[in-house]
Chain A
Amino acid sequence: NAGVTQTPKFQVLKTGQSMTLQCAQDMNHNSMYWYRQDPGMGLRLIYYSASEGTTDKGEVPNGYNVSRLNKREFSLRLESAAPSQTSVYFCASSEGGRGEKLFFGSGTQLSVL
Protein backbone atom coordinates (compact mmCIF):
# COMPACT_ATOMS: atom_id res chain seq x y z
CA ASN A 1 0.00 0.00 0.00
CA ALA A 2 2.06 2.92 -1.36
CA GLY A 3 -0.45 5.70 -0.57
CA VAL A 4 0.80 8.98 -2.05
CA THR A 5 4.07 8.82 -3.98
CA GLN A 6 6.05 11.92 -4.89
CA THR A 7 9.06 12.17 -7.14
CA PRO A 8 11.74 13.34 -6.91
CA LYS A 9 12.60 13.51 -3.19
CA PHE A 10 15.34 16.12 -3.70
CA GLN A 11 16.09 18.53 -6.52
CA VAL A 12 18.46 21.43 -7.10
CA LEU A 13 17.68 23.88 -9.88
CA LYS A 14 19.27 26.99 -11.24
CA THR A 15 17.22 30.16 -11.53
CA GLY A 16 15.18 30.07 -14.71
CA GLN A 17 15.16 26.31 -15.12
CA SER A 18 11.90 24.42 -15.30
CA MET A 19 10.82 21.17 -13.74
CA THR A 20 7.77 19.06 -12.94
CA LEU A 21 7.04 17.44 -9.61
CA GLN A 22 5.12 14.21 -9.98
CA CYS A 23 2.49 12.86 -7.60
CA ALA A 24 0.42 9.69 -7.75
CA GLN A 25 -2.04 8.13 -5.31
CA ASP A 26 -3.39 4.59 -5.28
CA MET A 27 -6.36 5.11 -2.93
CA ASN A 28 -8.89 6.09 -5.60
CA HIS A 29 -9.25 9.51 -4.00
CA ASN A 30 -11.20 12.24 -5.72
CA SER A 31 -9.25 15.26 -4.48
CA MET A 32 -5.57 16.07 -4.69
CA TYR A 33 -3.51 19.00 -3.41
CA TRP A 34 -0.12 20.63 -3.66
CA TYR A 35 1.30 22.44 -0.61
CA ARG A 36 4.57 24.15 0.06
CA GLN A 37 6.18 24.27 3.52
CA ASP A 38 8.41 27.13 4.56
CA PRO A 39 9.90 27.79 8.02
CA GLY A 40 7.57 29.78 10.24
CA MET A 41 4.74 29.70 7.70
CA GLY A 42 3.33 26.22 7.99
CA LEU A 43 1.97 24.57 4.86
CA ARG A 44 0.33 26.76 2.25
CA LEU A 45 -1.92 25.52 -0.52
CA ILE A 46 -0.61 26.10 -4.04
CA TYR A 47 -3.26 24.37 -6.17
CA TYR A 48 -5.86 21.71 -5.66
CA SER A 49 -8.01 19.44 -7.77
CA ALA A 50 -11.41 18.70 -6.27
CA SER A 51 -12.07 15.97 -8.83
CA GLU A 52 -10.63 14.57 -12.03
CA GLY A 53 -10.74 17.23 -14.73
CA THR A 54 -10.80 20.25 -12.41
CA THR A 55 -8.08 22.38 -10.87
CA ASP A 56 -8.22 25.54 -8.80
CA LYS A 57 -5.81 28.03 -7.32
CA GLY A 58 -4.95 27.96 -3.67
CA GLU A 59 -3.31 30.58 -1.52
CA VAL A 60 0.06 30.86 -3.34
CA PRO A 61 -0.37 29.84 -7.03
CA ASN A 62 1.92 32.38 -8.70
CA GLY A 63 4.81 30.79 -10.58
CA TYR A 64 3.20 27.33 -10.71
CA ASN A 65 0.98 25.31 -13.00
CA VAL A 66 -0.72 22.00 -12.40
CA SER A 67 -2.17 19.15 -14.39
CA ARG A 68 -4.62 16.54 -13.18
CA LEU A 69 -3.54 13.90 -15.65
CA ASN A 70 -6.09 11.32 -14.48
CA LYS A 71 -7.68 10.34 -11.20
CA ARG A 72 -4.36 9.01 -9.86
CA GLU A 73 -1.89 11.67 -10.93
CA PHE A 74 -1.50 15.37 -10.18
CA SER A 75 1.66 17.15 -11.30
CA LEU A 76 3.10 20.54 -10.34
CA ARG A 77 5.22 22.48 -12.82
CA LEU A 78 7.63 25.34 -12.23
CA GLU A 79 8.10 27.02 -15.59
CA SER A 80 10.93 29.37 -14.60
CA ALA A 81 12.22 28.60 -11.13
CA ALA A 82 13.09 31.44 -8.75
CA PRO A 83 14.99 31.36 -5.43
CA SER A 84 11.71 32.23 -3.66
CA GLN A 85 10.42 28.82 -4.73
CA THR A 86 13.02 27.06 -2.58
CA SER A 87 10.80 25.03 -0.28
CA VAL A 88 9.57 21.58 0.66
CA TYR A 89 6.65 20.56 -1.52
CA PHE A 90 3.97 18.13 -0.40
CA CYS A 91 1.34 16.39 -2.45
CA ALA A 92 -1.75 15.12 -0.67
CA SER A 93 -4.99 13.37 -1.51
CA SER A 94 -8.35 12.77 0.12
CA GLU A 95 -11.87 11.59 -0.60
CA GLY A 96 -12.70 15.29 -0.81
CA GLY A 97 -15.61 15.43 1.57
CA ARG A 98 -15.89 17.34 4.82
CA GLY A 99 -14.04 15.72 7.67
CA GLU A 100 -11.97 13.50 5.42
CA LYS A 101 -8.32 13.39 6.40
CA LEU A 102 -5.61 14.24 3.92
CA PHE A 103 -2.97 11.65 3.10
CA PHE A 104 0.41 13.20 2.41
CA GLY A 105 3.39 12.17 0.36
CA SER A 106 6.87 12.28 1.85
CA GLY A 107 7.72 15.65 0.30
CA THR A 108 10.20 17.06 -2.21
CA GLN A 109 13.04 19.27 -1.00
CA LEU A 110 13.61 21.81 -3.78
CA SER A 111 16.47 24.30 -3.82
CA VAL A 112 16.68 27.02 -6.45
CA LEU A 113 20.09 28.65 -6.70
Chain B
Amino acid sequence: AQTVTQSQPEMSVQEAETVTLSCTYDTSESDYYLFWYKQPPSRQMILVIRQEAYKQQNATENRFSVNFQKAAKSFSLKISDSQLGDAAMYFCAHQSGYGKLTFGQGTILTVHP
Protein backbone atom coordinates (compact mmCIF):
# COMPACT_ATOMS: atom_id res chain seq x y z
CA ALA B 1 0.00 0.00 0.00
CA GLN B 2 1.10 3.51 -0.74
CA THR B 3 1.88 5.93 2.06
CA VAL B 4 2.43 9.66 1.87
CA THR B 5 4.08 11.65 4.66
CA GLN B 6 4.11 15.40 5.18
CA SER B 7 6.36 16.05 8.15
CA GLN B 8 5.59 19.76 8.50
CA PRO B 9 2.20 20.30 10.17
CA GLU B 10 2.59 24.08 9.84
CA MET B 11 4.76 26.46 7.85
CA SER B 12 4.83 30.23 7.58
CA VAL B 13 6.27 32.66 5.05
CA GLN B 14 6.46 36.39 4.53
CA GLU B 15 4.58 37.83 1.59
CA ALA B 16 6.78 37.88 -1.56
CA GLU B 17 9.20 35.31 -0.11
CA THR B 18 9.70 31.67 -1.12
CA VAL B 19 8.62 28.63 0.87
CA THR B 20 9.09 24.90 0.33
CA LEU B 21 6.68 22.25 1.58
CA SER B 22 8.04 18.74 2.02
CA CYS B 23 6.51 15.42 1.05
CA THR B 24 7.84 11.87 0.99
CA TYR B 25 6.04 8.78 -0.21
CA ASP B 26 6.41 5.05 -0.42
CA THR B 27 5.27 2.96 -3.37
CA SER B 28 6.20 -0.24 -5.13
CA GLU B 29 4.99 1.08 -8.50
CA SER B 30 7.30 2.41 -11.16
CA ASP B 31 4.72 4.46 -13.04
CA TYR B 32 2.58 6.77 -10.98
CA TYR B 33 1.52 10.37 -10.55
CA LEU B 34 2.00 12.79 -7.70
CA PHE B 35 -0.17 15.78 -6.93
CA TRP B 36 -0.29 18.84 -4.72
CA TYR B 37 -3.77 20.07 -3.75
CA LYS B 38 -4.60 23.30 -1.96
CA GLN B 39 -7.50 23.60 0.48
CA PRO B 40 -8.35 27.19 1.48
CA PRO B 41 -10.73 27.93 4.36
CA SER B 42 -13.63 27.49 1.94
CA ARG B 43 -12.82 23.75 2.09
CA GLN B 44 -12.69 23.48 -1.70
CA MET B 45 -9.93 21.16 -2.99
CA ILE B 46 -7.92 22.85 -5.74
CA LEU B 47 -5.29 21.12 -7.87
CA VAL B 48 -2.01 23.03 -7.71
CA ILE B 49 0.39 20.87 -9.71
CA ARG B 50 0.83 17.34 -11.05
CA GLN B 51 3.96 15.28 -11.78
CA GLU B 52 4.33 12.06 -13.72
CA ALA B 53 6.95 9.77 -12.26
CA TYR B 54 8.39 8.90 -15.68
CA LYS B 55 9.14 12.51 -16.49
CA GLN B 56 12.56 13.68 -15.36
CA GLN B 57 11.66 17.34 -15.69
CA ASN B 58 10.12 18.95 -12.64
CA ALA B 59 6.60 20.32 -13.17
CA THR B 60 5.96 24.05 -12.90
CA GLU B 61 2.76 26.10 -12.84
CA ASN B 62 3.43 29.83 -12.66
CA ARG B 63 4.76 30.51 -9.12
CA PHE B 64 4.49 26.84 -8.12
CA SER B 65 7.16 24.27 -8.88
CA VAL B 66 8.16 20.87 -7.57
CA ASN B 67 11.44 19.17 -6.76
CA PHE B 68 10.81 15.54 -7.66
CA GLN B 69 13.49 13.10 -6.49
CA LYS B 70 12.28 9.67 -7.63
CA ALA B 71 15.05 7.62 -6.07
CA ALA B 72 14.59 9.36 -2.72
CA LYS B 73 10.78 9.24 -3.10
CA SER B 74 10.58 12.92 -2.33
CA PHE B 75 8.17 15.45 -3.87
CA SER B 76 8.46 18.96 -2.43
CA LEU B 77 6.45 22.02 -3.48
CA LYS B 78 8.10 25.41 -3.86
CA ILE B 79 5.95 28.54 -3.81
CA SER B 80 7.75 31.63 -5.10
CA ASP B 81 6.69 35.24 -4.51
CA SER B 82 4.17 34.10 -1.89
CA GLN B 83 0.84 35.91 -1.81
CA LEU B 84 -1.78 36.27 0.90
CA GLY B 85 -4.10 34.12 -1.20
CA ASP B 86 -1.65 31.22 -0.95
CA ALA B 87 -2.58 30.74 2.71
CA ALA B 88 -4.25 27.34 2.92
CA MET B 89 -3.80 23.69 3.84
CA TYR B 90 -1.65 21.90 1.25
CA PHE B 91 -1.92 18.19 0.61
CA CYS B 92 0.54 15.97 -1.21
CA ALA B 93 -1.00 12.91 -2.87
CA HIS B 94 0.06 9.76 -4.72
CA GLN B 95 -2.16 8.30 -7.42
CA SER B 96 -2.54 4.59 -8.06
CA GLY B 97 -4.96 2.54 -10.13
CA TYR B 98 -8.40 3.85 -11.13
CA GLY B 99 -7.34 7.34 -10.15
CA LYS B 100 -7.38 6.72 -6.41
CA LEU B 101 -5.40 9.26 -4.42
CA THR B 102 -3.55 8.57 -1.18
CA PHE B 103 -3.06 11.82 0.72
CA GLY B 104 -0.53 13.05 3.22
CA GLN B 105 -1.53 14.62 6.51
CA GLY B 106 -1.43 18.16 5.17
CA THR B 107 0.62 21.29 5.89
CA ILE B 108 -1.02 24.52 7.00
CA LEU B 109 0.67 27.47 5.28
CA THR B 110 0.38 30.93 6.83
CA VAL B 111 1.41 33.97 4.79
CA HIS B 112 2.39 37.06 6.78
CA PRO B 113 1.94 40.52 5.19
- B47 is an interface residue with CB less than 8 A from chain A: yes
**Which of B's residues lie within 8 Å of A, judged by CB?**
4, 6, 9, 31-33, 35, 42-45, 47, 50, 52, 91, 95, 97-106
**Which of A's residues lie within 8 Å of B, judged by CB?**
31, 33, 35, 40-45, 48, 50, 58-59, 88, 90, 92, 94-102, 104, 106-107
Contacting pair A88 B43 (CB below 8 A):
yes
Contacting pair A40 B9 (CB below 8 A):
yes
User: Which residues of chain A are within 8 angstroms of B47 by Cβ–Cβ distance?
Assistant: 101-102
Contacting pair B98 A99 (CB below 8 A):
no
In the assembled complex, the CB of B46 is this many whole angstroms from the nearest CB of chain A, namely 9
Docked Cα-Cα span, A97 to B31, in Å, equals 13
Contacting pair B35 A101 (CB below 8 A):
yes
Contacting pair A97 B99 (CB below 8 A):
yes
Given A95-B99, A98-B99, do A107 and B33 touch, yes or no (CB 8 Å)?
no
Choose from A45, A100, A106 the contact partner of B43 (Cβ within 8 Å): A106
Contacting pair A42 B105 (CB below 8 A):
yes
Docked Cα-Cα span, A23 to B34, in Å, equals 25
